[in-house]
Amino acid sequence: MTTGKFITFEGGEGGGKSTQLALLAKALEDAGIEVLTTREPGGTPGAEDIRNLLVRGTVDRWPPVAEVLLHFAARVDHVEKSILPALESGVWVLCDRFTDSTLAYQGGGHGLGLQRIQALKEDILGDFQPDLTLILDVPVEEGLARAFGRAGTEDRYERMDLGFHTRIRDTFLTIAEAEPGRCAVVDATGTVDDVQRQICAAVSHRLGADLKTAGK
């Protein structure tokens, strides 16, 4: 059986990751590809419990290093119990955030540095990484305005200061520049359909899927 593909959606707040992930899932399913959609932190019962510790509460609830360890604890459970079994059975996995978010939020945003987190990633996950990472890029102020317009209580990171979010965006773009073979930067400032077309084009070109979008 052919191994499935692992596609991650990354970017700062308000980039439209959840919307675009759902649209890509439908496009893949319409093309006859079986898909699992998931998210981080989360994706398994244990990882969802950890998610609640990370995305709710006061801004200073956790020291940055504690955040990193919590994210990786959730990630190990998620990878071992959900992502790898799906990939091994030929299912394509679409994940809202993965290790790049830890690099960007804790490494860049909180200033821990990328090397420490990359070393931890290699120690825990080895060479496991996405086949394609889609970085939905939007100016920080625009993204935060979108994010604050959503209802919900998972807003701990959204409430962090503008400098934090600026460093996140800069780090995502640095990651994309360093790994162009894995990462594709998507301009997320356009309409939902415009962004979807960019994403489907990237997936079709890089992974060989023949996808149709809402505009076709």
Task: Give the whole-number percent of the chain exceeding pLDDT 90.
Answer: 90
Confidence of residue 17 (pLDDT cuts 50, 70, 90): very high
- Average the pLDDT over 37-47 and give the result: 98
Q: What is the DSSP letter of 155?
A: -
Q: Measured over all CA atoms, what is the biggest interatomic distance in the chain, rounded to whole angstroms?
A: 48
**pLDDT for the residue numbered 214:** 53
Which CA distances in Å does 76 have to 40, 128, 164, 199?
A: 11, 11, 26, 27
- Average the pLDDT over 2-6 and give the result: 93
| Rounded-to-integer distance, Cα 145 and Cα 152, Å | 14
**pLDDT for the residue numbered 216:** 47
> Tokens in use for 57?
């509460």
146-167 confidence digits (pLDDT tens) = 988 775 768 899 999 999 999 9
User: Across the strands, what pairs with 186?
Assistant: 136
- Average the pLDDT over 73-90 and give the result: 98
Domain assignment present for residue 214? The answer is no
Domain assignment present for residue 135? The answer is yes
Residue 215 has pLDDT above 70, yes or no: no
Around Cβ 1, how many Cβ atoms within 10 Å? 6
**pLDDT for the residue numbered 150:** 75
**pLDDT for the residue numbered 154:** 83
**pLDDT for the residue numbered 213:** 67
| Rounded-to-integer distance, Cα 105 and Cα 101, Å | 6
User: What is the number of structural domains in the chain?
Assistant: 1
Domain limits for position 151: 6-207
Residue 125 has pLDDT above 70, yes or no: yes
Domain assignment present for residue 215? The answer is no
**pLDDT for the residue numbered 178:** 97
Q: Which of 141, 139, 103 is nearest to 8 (CA)?
A: 103
Confidence of residue 44 (pLDDT cuts 50, 70, 90): very high
Q: Which residue has the tokens 């073979």?
A: 181
Exposed, middle or buried: residue 163 (CB in 10 Å: 0-12, 13-18, 19+)? exposed
| Rounded-to-integer distance, Cα 166 and Cα 169, Å | 5
Domain assignment present for residue 216? The answer is no
Domain assignment present for residue 45? The answer is yes
Domain assignment present for residue 110? The answer is yes
Domain assignment present for residue 49? The answer is yes
| Rounded-to-integer distance, Cα 176 and Cα 27, Å | 24
Domain assignment present for residue 1? The answer is no
| Interstrand relation of 183-187 and 132-137 (parallel, antiparallel or unpaired) | parallel
Residue 212 has pLDDT above 80, yes or no: no
Residue 171: CATH number of its domain: 3.40.50.300
Provide the residue type at 141 as one letter: E
Terminal Cα-to-Cα distance of the chain (whole angstroms): 31
Confidence of residue 38 (pLDDT cuts 50, 70, 90): very high
Provide the residue type at 185 as one letter: V
**pLDDT for the residue numbered 1:** 62
Q: Which residue has the tokens 């919900």?
A: 152
**Three-state SS letters, 49-101:** HHHHHHHCCCCCCCCHHHHHHHHHHHHHHHHHHHHHHHHHCCCEEEEECCHHH
